[in-house]
Amino acid sequence: MAVAGDGHRVPDLYQKPQQTHVHSHSKILVPLTVHLATEHEHQSRTLWRLNRAVDRANRALARHGIEVVVHKVWRMPKGFNSITRRRDRRKLAQYAALDGTVHVFFVDHLELGSIARSDRSVRGMHWRYRGLRRNLRHREYITINSDAPSTTLAHEVGHLFGLDHDRGHRNLMCSCRRGRIQRFTHRQGATMRLEARAFFLRNRRYGGR
Ligand SMILES: [Zn+2]
């Protein structure tokens, strides 16, 4: 068992030995804490999607000296699988310990609650906490929907580390349908490295590792 951000006890499904050294001094390791909130699909399938998304992200990030590493996988209690309102996002935020890792939530249903149009469902989302709890301010999270392709994690990590959308269909930051050939440009890689360093400094300042 492990303790989530608000003191809830949740099963720790993924105990991986801590990485003690990095071979390349310039490589940036991005630790992910993954929260499984899905209820409509079997847990093994969510874990399979997680591995696929991590592999796809690392295939794109490797040439830019960044690697995402799954640090922990936690099962969320029932009732967090549908995220449609800002309030739902705030509830999720409480499950993210202030530990310097990037928190990624896998859910069944994700909608942009603030946008009034018929097609509000999205495949992934990166957001910043804007509630009143001071200790949660500056926190950033990634949510992945159950119908997301394997490229969505890479795309959301791009947003997390400062990238906007790109119109190029061969670019991972394209908001179009993404595929195998898509990648980050060198300029995007440089931005992500800068922003990733700033991200970890910020987290340290607010009580992270
Ligand atoms: Zn996007």
Distance 164 CA to ligand 1 centre (A): 7
Average pLDDT over every residue of 17-35:
70
The one-letter code for the residue type at 104 is: V
**pLDDT confidence tier of residue 8, bands split at 50, 70 and 90:** low
Distance 166 CA to ligand 1 centre (A): 9
Distance 142 CA to ligand 1 centre (A): 11
Coil, strand or helix at 52? helix
Q: Give the pLDDT score at 23.
A: 44
pLDDT at residue 83 tops 50: yes
* 156 vs 206, residue with greater confidence: 156
Rounded Cα gap, residues 22 and 95, in angstroms: 29
Residues 9, 78: contact at Cβ < 8 Å?
A: no
Q: What is the CA radius of gyration of the chain?
A: 16
Residues 61, 99: contact at Cβ < 8 Å?
A: no
**Tens-place pLDDT, residues 124-176:** 888 777 667 776 666 778 999 988 999 999 999 999 999 999 988 899 998 87
Distance 115 CA to ligand 1 centre (A): 15
The pair of structure tokens assigned to 129 is 């906490």
Rounded Cα gap, residues 144 and 83, in angstroms: 10
Distance 10 CA to ligand 1 centre (A): 30
Distance 5 CA to ligand 1 centre (A): 27
Rounded Cα gap, residues 108 and 181, in angstroms: 27
Distance 2 CA to ligand 1 centre (A): 32
What are the chain's domains? 2-205 (3.40.390.10)
